[in-house]
């Protein structure tokens, strides 16, 4: 029997394609290498002959794709001698920053919109020992403050305006290409700041330019309807959505993302909160995959475009599921309120047996 070598994170794996040196101290939690799962039931439910894969980024160490960028950003911050990092966040970036700072032995400061981040993410930032600064404002306000304070205090900004973040995140595209052996026809992502869609495109283009693959996907970005500046064609001042992770009205990678749309011949669209929650539930009930609401936006949009034929039959589609469902237990439980599958019975054999037989 031969044993595989131990997986030690994406910087180690893609060292030749990332800005690190041989002696760089790598701050890693074994991120990346996430499963690309082929959906078994949903294509049939849609009545369409399409191949849908989900890239389950919720299985990264802190439960979201942010770990890919954070391993790079914190590795470089430490290399440059930084003792503290800072970010504004709708929750996942703060969780990743807190964990990687703990790993590196430096301080993380996180600015989060008061009362508007999912419970799991808040718990993560707190338990890893980050300094949690709750602001009476939304993500966009926090981002502006972080940019200003970054000029006046000795802290490294680890939001996706830090170019090392996108370098790390581009590796998700490498993994998809390696597993499929070619580019998918369409790659669908939820869009907030639009860093991740830009990073994926960088990754796809890099393998294409180096002749490792000979095609690139059409990139499709879906936003929540109440927070859809790319659909409006202008910034949105008071974004609202149940998908708090993408409750962003002033995307930081605005120009980059429009370039992705043009270069890949892709498009942006929006999904209502109802569509997002329905896609989240469908994925859990029909495929056994639990992602957070923002993540389900990619599938919600893709399903609509597959049904309408905008994404034609015969296509191979990848949807990124950016974060784990456990990040936001409140929304999950609310989705199931009134469910006839939540029973309360006496602790007797009779009652338990009845509950089973009545629900077979």
- Does 32 sit near ligand F0G (CB under 6 A)? no
- Does 90 sit near ligand F0G (CB under 6 A)? yes
Contacts with ligand F0G, 314-353, as mask; x by CB under 6 A: --------xx------------------------------
Q: Phi and psi at residue 252, in whole multiples of 5°?
A: -75, -30
- Residue number with CB closer to ligand F0G (192 or 266): 192
Element (H, E) at 145: helix 139-152
Spatial separation of the C-alpha atoms in residues 253 and 32, rounded to whole Å: 22
Contacts with ligand F0G, 142-161, as mask; x by CB under 6 A: ------------------x-
Of 14-22, 150-158, 190-198, 352-360, the window that binds ligand F0G (rule: CB under 6 A) is 190-198
- Residue number with CB closer to ligand F0G (79 or 240): 240
Length of the chain: 360
Of 89, 162, 171, 264, the one binding ligand F0G (CB under 6 A) is 89
- Does 245 sit near ligand F0G (CB under 6 A)? yes
Spatial separation of the C-alpha atoms in residues 44 and 64, rounded to whole Å: 28
- Does 91 sit near ligand F0G (CB under 6 A)? yes
Contact between 116 and 248 (Cβ < 8 Å) = no
Contact between 25 and 78 (Cβ < 8 Å) = yes
- Does 191 sit near ligand F0G (CB under 6 A)? yes
What's the Cα-to-Cα distance from 145 to each of 1, 88, 138, 151, rounded to whole Å? 55, 8, 11, 10
- Does 227 sit near ligand F0G (CB under 6 A)? no
For tokens 């920053």, the residue is 97
Of 4-12, 74-82, 233-241, 288-296, the window that binds ligand F0G (rule: CB under 6 A) is 288-296
What's the Cα-to-Cα distance from 70 to each of 27, 132, 229, 245, 324, rounded to whole Å? 9, 17, 26, 17, 17
- Does 217 sit near ligand F0G (CB under 6 A)? no
Contact between 304 and 275 (Cβ < 8 Å) = yes
Q: Which two tokens stand for residue 267?
A: 């498009």
Bridge pairing between strands 156-157 and 84-88: parallel
- Does 299 sit near ligand F0G (CB under 6 A)? no
- Residue number with CB closer to ligand F0G (48 or 256): 256
CB of residue 66 vs ligand F0G: minimum separation in angstroms?
6
- Does 171 sit near ligand F0G (CB under 6 A)? no
**DSSP code at position 319:** E
Of 39, 102, 194, 302, the one binding ligand F0G (CB under 6 A) is 194
CB of residue 118 vs ligand F0G: minimum separation in angstroms?
9
- Residue number with CB closer to ligand F0G (26 or 319): 319
Spatial separation of the C-alpha atoms in residues 161 and 147, rounded to whole Å: 9
Bridge pairing between strands 51-56 and 36-38: antiparallel
Residues contributing to the site for ligand F0G (CB under 6 A): 64, 66, 89-93, 160, 190-196, 245-246, 292, 294-295, 322-323
């Amino acid at each position: 029997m031969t044993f595989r070598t131990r997986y030690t994170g994406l910087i180690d794996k893609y060292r030749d394609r990332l800005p690190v040196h041989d002696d760089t101290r790598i701050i890693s939690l074994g991120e990346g290498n996430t499963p690309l799962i082929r959906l078994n039931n949903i294509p049939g439910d849609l009545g369409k002959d399409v191949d849908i894969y989900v890239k389950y980024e919720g299985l990264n160490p802190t439960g979201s794709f942010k770990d890919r960028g954070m391993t790079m950003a914190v590795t470089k911050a430490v290399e440059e001698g930084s003792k503290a990092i800072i970010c504004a966040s709708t929750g996942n970036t703060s969780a990743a920053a807190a964990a990687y700072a703990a790993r590196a032995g430096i301080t993380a400061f996180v600015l989060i919109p008061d009362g508007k981040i999912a419970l799991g993410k808040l718990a993560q930032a707190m338990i890893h020992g980050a300094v949690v600064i709750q602001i009476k404002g939304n993500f966009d306000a926090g981002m502006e403050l972080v940019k200003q304070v970054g000029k006046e205090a000795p802290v490294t900004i680890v939001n996706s305006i830090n170019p090392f973040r996108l370098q790390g995140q581009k590796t998700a595209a490498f993994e998809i290409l390696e597993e499929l052996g070619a580019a998918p026809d369409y790659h669908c992502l939820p869009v907030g700041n639009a860093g991740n869609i830009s990073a994926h495109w960088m990754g796809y283009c890099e393998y294409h330019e180096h002749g490792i693959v000979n095609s690139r996907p059409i990139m499709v970005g879906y936003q929540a309807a109440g927070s859809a500046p790319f659909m409006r064609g202008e910034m949105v001042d008071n974004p609202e959505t149940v998908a708090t992770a993408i409750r962003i009205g002033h995307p930081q990678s605005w120009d980059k993302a429009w370039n992705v749309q043009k270069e890949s011949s892709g498009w942006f669209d929006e999904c209502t909160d109802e569509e997002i929650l329905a896609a989240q539930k469908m994925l859990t009930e029909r495929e056994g995959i639990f992602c957070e609401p923002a993540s389900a936006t990619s599938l919600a949009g893709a399903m609509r475009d597959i049904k309408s034929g905008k994404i034609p039959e015969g296509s191979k589609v990848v949807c990124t599921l950016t974060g784990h469902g456990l990040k936001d237990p409140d929304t999950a439980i609310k989705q199931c309120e009134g469910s006839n599958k939540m029973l309360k019975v006496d602790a007797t054999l009779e009652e338990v047996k009845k509950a089973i037989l009545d629900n077979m």
